[in-house]
Amino acid sequence: MNQIIIGSLLLSLLHAVIPNHWLPVLAIGRKEQWNEQEVVKVTLWSGLAHVISTILIGLVLAVAGWQLNQRWSDFSRWVAPAVLVSMGLFFIYQHYRHHHFHLHKTQVRNSSKAKIIAALVLAMFLSPCFEIEVYFLVAGSRSWWLVGLLALMYGLITVTGMVLWVRIAYKGMLRLNWHKLEHNAGIITGGILIITGILSFFIH
């Protein structure tokens, strides 16, 4: 169970850092000449929308995991780790097939501020983190307190991370190779999932 918590924690931290979660808000905010408070507020709304859609899907998968475990007692012992490893291999495969994470492209020409904000929030709501969803499936097969912990941890880390990075980047205090980070996000995600799956198999 600890490996599920640690794996989801690492993945949550990774996705809080990946710029396609918060850089679009910063870029559009600068273009539209929003002040720091406005950019942070829109980032908060976007982050909450992103987290809500991810957790809603996660809860559905958690119920599926619980039902599968009720019908097949060995689900959490054999199938769940295999799903984690398979998803990890899939993300690594996607990485080498050049299907990398990309920044959301939100059209802002001749749009009002309210429409721009609505577009950003909607884009984030419709872009849930599918990488974390497999953890909800596995957590559902273990216990509901684990599902709740996963949802709380993911939500807090994601929203806090987005707001923190935007504040730092807005002040010009951040100089990182974001393209390289985005480029390697898939392989890092895949590695975390594979390791979690292997540990889940041996440490039940």
pLDDT in tens, 149-172: 999 999 999 999 999 989 888 877
**pTM to 2 decimals?**
0.79
Alpha carbons 30 and 50: distance in angstroms, whole number = 21
Bigger pLDDT: 23 vs 153: 153
pLDDT at site 99: 45
Which residues are CB-contacts of 117 (< 8 A; sequence separation ≥ 6)?
42, 45
Largest CA distance in the chain: 57
Q: Which domain holds residue 9?
A: 2-202
pLDDT at site 128: 86
Give the chain's mean pLDDT: 80
- What domain count does the chain have? 1
Reported as a pLDDT band with limits 50, 70 and 90, residue 189 is confident
Tokens in use for 36?
A: 């720091």
Task: Please count the residues of the chain.
Answer: 204
Which residues are CB-contacts of 128 (< 8 A; sequence separation ≥ 6)?
50, 53, 54, 57
The separation between the first and the last C-alpha atoms of the chain, rounded to the nearest angstrom, is: 7
Radius of gyration of the chain (CA): 18
Scanning the structure block, which residue is given the tokens 């909800």?
136
pLDDT in tens, 72-107: 766 666 677 787 788 778 777 776 665 444 444 445
3-state secondary structure of 35: coil
Which residues are CB-contacts of 45 (< 8 A; sequence separation ≥ 6)?
117, 120, 121
